[in-house]
Amino acid sequence: MHCVNNFFGIFQPNCIILAVSPANQDLATSDAIKISREVDPKGERTFGVLTKIDLMDKGTDAVDILEGRAYRLQFPWIGVVNRSQQDINKSVDMIAARRRERDYFANTPEYKHLAHRMGSEHLAKSLSKHLESVIKSRIPGLQSLITKTVAELETELTRLGKPIANDAGGKLYTIMEICRMFDGIYKEHLDGVRPGGEKIYHVFDNQFPVAIKRLQFDKQLSMENVRKLITEADGYQPHLIAPEQGYRRLIESCLVSIRGPAEAAVDTVHGILKELVHKAINETH
């Protein structure tokens, strides 16, 4: 059995199967027929080819097979008579072999009525005609596949951006253009032209003030606590205007309380800025 490509190609739906069997062998034991049944049960792409018709025993013929009664295929069986080993040894050319083949079918009484669709030339024409019809039927699908592939490649090219120059100056210019584009997009995010920058405003206008208001400054700045801190810090040292060390400790204690909400606000803003950087990178083409 042969295929347009190779043996494994018979599993492809576009492949034409030539189920070649010798006429002097029982079709029931033909490997070609057995395999073609498995891969092409409807016989839509199988061409039965019967060889060695001229070598059959006297009194027997292959008419039942060629007329489709012994084993029916969607396409009629085609008989061929190839060159014998003796013809090959004598270097009989293909033109003479084809002429002898035509004469055989035309002059043999059993096959005379089938001669118009027998022979290697008819087999070649039948295969060409079938191949042409297969190609025509596949063209719409191929066009659709090509269109889809082109669209996917154009999308990929658009995503990759403009071509990069090969020289060092061109590469540097491309890099600078990308950096300028990134810088502009990043600023647009921060300025509110693009989404994302408003989250930073929310941190300083809402999150941080709310956290500061939760601190107990009224307790920390009570007269009793202030007096205690000043007394412990300055003791009996004289001052001209105000107890300096006491004020310092009072301010430091307040700053320690603010540190937690301030660091939380900084971490939040840092996370937002990193997110905006990733967005700007993805939007830079």
pLDDT tens for each residue of 135-194? 888 888 889 999 999 999 989 888 877 777 778 888 888 889 889 999 999 999 988 888
Range of the domain at 239: 168-283
Q: Which of 134, 150, 183 is the last residue of a domain?
A: 134
Contact 192, 198 (CB under 8 A): yes
* CATH code, domain carrying 95: 3.40.50.300
Compute the distance between CA of residue 5 and CA of residue 213 in angstroms, rounded to an integer. Answer: 81
User: Quick count: other Cβ atoms within 10 Å of Cβ 15?
Assistant: 17
- Short-list 35, 38, 39, 32, CA closest to 15: 39
Q: What is the mean predicted confidence (pLDDT) over 92-99?
A: 85
Are residue 92 and residue 185 in the same domain, yes or no? no
Which pLDDT value is given to residue 267?
A: 93
Are residue 24 and residue 95 in the same domain, yes or no? yes
The 3-state DSSP class for residue 84 equals coil
Are residue 95 and residue 220 in the same domain, yes or no? no
Q: Which two tokens stand for residue 204?
A: 């300083």
Q: Which of 115, 134, 153 is the last residue of a domain?
A: 134
* Number of domains into which the chain is organized: 2
pLDDT of 2 > 50? The answer is no
Which pLDDT value is given to residue 5?
A: 40
Compute the distance between CA of residue 230 and CA of residue 250 in angstroms, rounded to an integer. Answer: 8
Question: Mean pLDDT of all residues in the chain?
Answer: 82
Are residue 27 and residue 95 in the same domain, yes or no? yes
* DSSP tag of 207: I
Q: What is the mean predicted confidence (pLDDT) over 201-205?
A: 89
pLDDT confidence bin for 279, thresholds 50/70/90 = very high
- Short-list 204, 207, 216, CA closest to 256: 216
The 3-state DSSP class for residue 79 equals strand
Compute the distance between CA of residue 155 and CA of residue 161 in angstroms, rounded to an integer. Answer: 10
Residue 146 domain flag: no
Are residue 116 and residue 187 in the same domain, yes or no? no
Which pLDDT value is given to residue 117?
A: 92
Contact 17, 3 (CB under 8 A): yes
Q: Which of 134, 155, 178 is the last residue of a domain?
A: 134
Compute the distance between CA of residue 195 and CA of residue 198 in angstroms, rounded to an integer. Answer: 7
pLDDT tens for each residue of 16-43? 888 888 888 877 778 888 888 888 888 8
